[in-house]
């Protein structure tokens, strides 16, 4: 179908699109879970909030699973190295994610305010901790991860779990959390009525401002104090995976901005992330909130694409052995594997998009307090 070089680029784009799909859909669910204790003041209002995503949250998890499967199949070295370097962080994320299906399914099994309140706290933890850890992980990628390979391509990680939570990574975590909360708030502002919608609109304004400030601060740090990675030699884009022998990598402060300086049109990406966040906050107060939600989704896309294009062609740089850094050119599966996977994506991704759109269309409504009270035993 395509030559090896094109397939490598195509799969870099596909995984980027899948990450955006995950952040827009499942990120919305996490944002709603994170807002649950703040925009809802009693059990009925919390049930209103939960029922806006009750029909969609498990379907949205498909994006998360698809991202993991794509990493495993397209970039196996990245997958293996990430699980070595971020093992405890990933285990923390997975165990917190376990709380989400349990919380949704069990909170209304017993008609007890205490029982439901405790499960609501579980939903909050299961939403916010993964959002924070995802941001921290991407912040560490931008700084480089301390790993290296031996002659048998066995990876050695020399960092620690606590070292992941450094200042820049924590700022990246704030970017991630505020992004999810802003997105969840714009969703609630158009799917609920009266008091919950009003509180959600205020939350959208607050967290859109937090996103703009934290994202701008992260960009300033990247420009002035964070070392980026540069490939000094020419890499054969048609070569097989040989991440330890084919490149010479050096680091320099502000190097992550090189792609933007070489191609000024890329500055539209961070601009989109900031401008659309501002627009989302401003529009959230208006009913219906579809424009605010769209602006929020575009802001998320702008933030993720900013990171992707700043690191290009790096996927997982190594701070301890820069020459062992993993890039989209030398850390991928075989040409045959990428071709087969591309066929699978061309067939199944439209199916996922179609049934997801159908579900949202069929379940679309404003969830009200009266609906919950009238359907006490059928709603979450």
Helix (H) or strand (E) holding 13: helix 4-39
Query: What's the confidence (pLDDT) of residue 271?
Result: 97
Token duo for residue 210: 């937090």
Comparing C-alpha atoms, which of 173, 177, 155 is closest to residue 165?
173
Per-residue pLDDT of the chain (380 residues; tens, 9 = 90+): 788 999 999 999 999 999 999 999 999 999 999 999 999 999 899 999 999 998 888 888 888 888 988 999 999 999 989 887 888 888 999 999 999 999 988 988 888 888 999 999 999 999 999 999 999 999 999 999 999 988 888 888 888 888 889 999 999 999 999 999 999 999 999 999 889 999 999 999 999 999 999 999 999 999 999 999 999 887 777 666 677 677 889 999 999 999 999 999 999 999 999 999 999 999 987 766 689 999 999 999 999 999 999 999 999 999 999 999 999 998 889 899 999 999 999 998 899 889 888 988 888 888 888 888 877 665 56
Query: What's the confidence (pLDDT) of residue 153?
Result: 82
What is the phi/psi pair of residue 150, to 5°?
-95, -170
CA 143 to chain centre: 18
Is residue 151 domain-resident? no
Is residue 380 domain-resident? no
Number of folded domains in the chain?
1
Token duo for residue 30: 């996490």
Token duo for residue 175: 């970017």
Measure CA of the first residue to CA of the last residue in the chain; give whole Å.
48
Name the residue with tokens 């285990």.
91
The CA–CA distances, whole Å, from 245 to 12, 251, 322 equal 22, 18, 11
Query: What's the confidence (pLDDT) of residue 379?
Result: 59
> How large is the C-alpha radius of gyration of the chain?
21
Query: What's the confidence (pLDDT) of residue 289?
Result: 66
Query: What's the confidence (pLDDT) of residue 144?
Result: 93
Distance CA 131, CA 46 (A): 21
Token duo for residue 23: 């952040």
The CA–CA distances, whole Å, from 106 to 27, 41, 76, 115, 168 equal 22, 20, 36, 9, 37
Is residue 150 domain-resident? no
Is residue 314 domain-resident? yes
What is the phi/psi pair of residue 154, to 5°?
-85, 130
Is residue 294 domain-resident? yes
Token duo for residue 64: 């998360």
Which range of residues forms the domain containing residue 95? Answer: 4-145+156-374
Is residue 379 domain-resident? no
């Amino acid at each position: 179908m395509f030559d090896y070089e094109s397939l490598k680029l195509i799969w870099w784009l596909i995984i980027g699109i899948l990450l955006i799909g995950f952040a827009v859909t499942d990120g919305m669910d996490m944002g709603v879970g994170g807002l649950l204790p703040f925009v809802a003041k009693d059990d009925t209002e919390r049930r209103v909030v939960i029922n806006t995503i009750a029909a969609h949250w498990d379907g949205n998890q498909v994006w998360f699973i698809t991202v993991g499967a794509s990493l495993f199949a397209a970039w196996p070295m990245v997958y293996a190295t990430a699980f070595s370097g971020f093992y405890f962080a990933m285990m923390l994320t997975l165990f917190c994610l376990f709380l989400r299906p349990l919380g949704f399914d069990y909170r209304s099994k017993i008609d007890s305010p205490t029982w439901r309140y405790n499960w609501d706290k579980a939903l909050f933890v299961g939403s916010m901790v993964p959002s924070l850890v995802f941001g921290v992980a991407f912040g560490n990628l931008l700084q480089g991860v301390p790993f290296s390979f031996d002659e048998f391509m066995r990876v050695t990680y020399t960092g620690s779990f606590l070292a992941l939570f450094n200042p820049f990574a924590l700022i990246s975590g704030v970017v991630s959390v505020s992004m999810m909360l802003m997105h969840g708030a714009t969703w609630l502002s158009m799917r609920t009525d009266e008091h919950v919608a009003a509180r959600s609109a205020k939350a959208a304004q607050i967290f859109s401002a937090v996103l703009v400030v934290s994202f701008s601060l992260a960009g300033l740090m990247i420009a002035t104090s964070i070392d980026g990675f540069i490939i000094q030699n020419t890499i054969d884009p048609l070569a097989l995976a040989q991440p330890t022998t084919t490149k010479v990598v050096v680091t320099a402060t502000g190097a992550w901005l090189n792609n933007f300086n070489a191609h000024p049109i890329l500055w539209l990406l961070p601009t989109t992330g900031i401008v659309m966040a501002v627009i989302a906050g401003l529009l959230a107060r208006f009913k219906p909130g579809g424009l605010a939600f769209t602006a929020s989704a575009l802001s998320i896309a702008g933030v993720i694409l900013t990171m992707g294009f700043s690191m290009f062609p790096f996927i997982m740089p190594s701070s301890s052995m820069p020459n062992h850094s993993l890039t989209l050119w030398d850390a991928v599966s075989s040409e045959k594997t990428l071709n087969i996977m591309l066929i699978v994506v061309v067939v199944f991704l439209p199916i996922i998009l179609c049934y997801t759109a159908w579900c949202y269309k069929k379940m679309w409504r404003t969830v009200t307090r009266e609906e919950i009270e009238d359907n006490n035993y059928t709603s979450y």
